[in-house]
Amino acid sequence: MSQLYYRDVDGSTQYLHRHQLVDQYKTKSHDFVLNIDSLTQYQFHRRPSDLAQVTACALQQLRQQYGTLRLFYSGGIDSQYVLHHCLINRIHIDEIYSVVKVPYKDPVLLALDESINSAQPFLKQVAERLTHTKIHTPVLDHKFFNQFYSSDDYWKYSFNMYVGEPSRVCNMIDGFNLTTTDVCNLAGIDTPFVYWNNGWQFCFVDQQIIPEHVSKHSRAVHSLSLDSPEFIESYVNAIVDQMEQHADYRTRFSLGNVLQQRSKILQHMVPEMQQVNGQTWGLRLPKSAGLSVPVDASFVEKTVYSNFRSFIHWKQACQEQPAWLNRWTNHTDWSWVERCQQFGGVLSDQFVLHD
């Protein structure tokens, strides 16, 4: 599994975690580069490729390499893509973890959980094809969050804290003790930012992959995009194929324009992704809470009010008053969390598709 780390732009110093960058005085995100060691030595090319076939090959290699293949499956498009290609290619998955991320008793929030309303119903639909796969649906309950928030500096290991949702943390894999070396913990795929800069290039931004990388055991998590150069080359070419259908692709998909959007927009261009995206449905919460934020609101209040999911989860936590809520509210260094958000995303190396 790929080793991810940060380095100074001149390559003189390496850092394992994002918080080591944020803690430095007067540094900016562009002072650093995210290094993805499995991709740095590969020469990428612009060429025709069968994404489905390349995906099957990458998954077959994992099946042969590891004694246990374990998929973290949310029902979202990234993990659905991996499950879909395992199923159609009859690649055996030993275990599937579909994690319920709602610790509360509220039936509405539970019904809206991605695992409950999307992933688990689909797994039931294909149960006859997974008869030899162990299905786990653990709940991130209050005990889990009590343990997470017991650390003195937990906020440095959960980049998602800036969204203001107390029951949303990054490094779930640590809590499950699933870091055995003979096991492939497959997290799905990550979509890079693909752009035109005197030729086709692509890069990743650390905020895309931080839920895995922020873990103290980041090498325990596998992503096809970060660990298989052949897969990401084919995936990027599939995206470029769609981009080049626009006459103005050189300006429309410049780096500046692309970075203003989420990379998911690029993902949805690809026909294979569009097909997979229609396999699971389930309810989705709106992004905006539609609430007026008080003028004198604190940073955490602004983040809670600006996102609907954050707002309703925060309201439920205030109602149930779990033990860990006091730690989240009063012990978190919110000024540091705000600084981490303002720090911005760190770009990886910018990889070129050679002609």
Residue 2, in any domain of the structure? no
pLDDT of 11 reads 87
Residue 15, in any domain of the structure? no
pLDDT of 179 reads 59
**Residues in Cβ contact with 248 at an 8 Å cutoff, skipping those fewer than 6 apart:** none
**How many C-beta atoms surround the C-beta of residue 238 within 10 A?**
23
Dist CA 44 CA 55 (whole Å): 16
Handedness of CA 90, 91, 93, 97 (dihedral sign): negative
Q: What is the pTM for the complete model shown?
A: 0.92
Residue 196, in any domain of the structure? yes
Residue 211, in any domain of the structure? yes
**Strands (DSSP E) along 158-295, which ranges?**
183-186, 193-196, 200-203, 221-222
Count the domains in the chain. 1
In the block, tokens 């991320």 appear at: 101
Dist CA 262 CA 194 (whole Å): 11
In the block, tokens 């060429």 appear at: 47
In three-state secondary structure terms, 89 is coil
Residue 13, in any domain of the structure? no
* Tens-place pLDDT, residues 119-168: 999 999 999 999 999 999 999 899 989 988 998 988 887 767 777 888 88
pLDDT of 277 reads 81
pLDDT of 194 reads 98
Tokens of residue 100, six digits = 């319920």
Residue 264, in any domain of the structure? yes
Half-sphere exposure in the Cβ direction for 354 (13 Å, CA): 3
pLDDT of 333 reads 93
Residue 311, in any domain of the structure? yes
What's 189's DSSP letter? -
pLDDT of 44 reads 98
- Parent domain of 325: 36-352
* Tens-place pLDDT, residues 203-251: 999 888 755 444 554 556 788 999 999 999 999 999 999 999 999 999 9
Residue 160, in any domain of the structure? yes
Our CA angle for 343, 257, 252, nearest 5°, is: 170
Using an 8 Å Cβ cutoff, are 245 and 239 in contact? no
pLDDT of 175 reads 62
Residue-by-residue pLDDT tens, the chain, 355 positions: 677 889 999 988 999 888 899 999 889 999 999 999 899 999 999 999 999 999 999 999 999 999 999 999 999 899 999 999 999 999 999 999 999 989 999 999 999 899 999 999 999 999 999 999 999 999 989 998 998 899 898 888 776 777 788 888 765 666 666 656 688 889 889 999 999 999 999 999 988 875 544 455 455 678 899 999 999 999 999 999 999 999 999 999 999 999 999 898 999 999 999 988 878 776 677 777 677 888 888 888 888 888 888 889 999 999 999 999 999 999 999 999 999 889 989 999 999 999 9
